[in-house]
Amino acid sequence: MKVLNEFRLVDGEYDLQELKEIVLTLLDDKIKFHQLKDFSDSERLGKTDDTQSKKRLKDLKNSKENIIAIINDLSNNKEGNKKFKVYSEVKIERV
């Protein structure tokens, strides 16, 4: 697959609170997207089992729990006053 374009969605250094806000906001938005898609497909198309969307929701929720645990661990280990680098890329490919 050929990459048509790449974007840096997040690229910088953040303190722990900023890191938490940025990453959890991105995850929450993706979770909401899939929940709305699942609801919309159910209402409009009568689909009741979009396994791909449900699997993605489960993966995103697991990622959120893991990130919260990491952030809590960093906070409890007195690393909360340090800076952290955060990177996130978006690649668009034709399939």
**81: closest CA among 7, 6, 16?**
16
13 and 82 in contact (C-beta within 8 Å)?
A: no
Q: How do residues 83-92 score in pLDDT, each as one tens digit?
A: 999 999 999 9
Could you list the beta-strand ranges (E) of 2-81: 3-15
The CB-based long-range contact list for 44-53 (8 Å cut-off, 24+ gap) reads: none
State residue 48's pLDDT score: 64
pTM flag (> 0.75) = yes
State residue 13's pLDDT score: 96
Q: HEC string of 37-92?
A: HHHHHHHHHCCCCCHHHHHHHHHHHHHHHHHHHHHHHHHHCCCCCCEEEEEEEEEE
Could you list the beta-strand ranges (E) of 16-95: 83-93
Q: How do residues 36-62 score in pLDDT, each as one tens digit?
A: 887 777 677 666 665 677 888 999 999
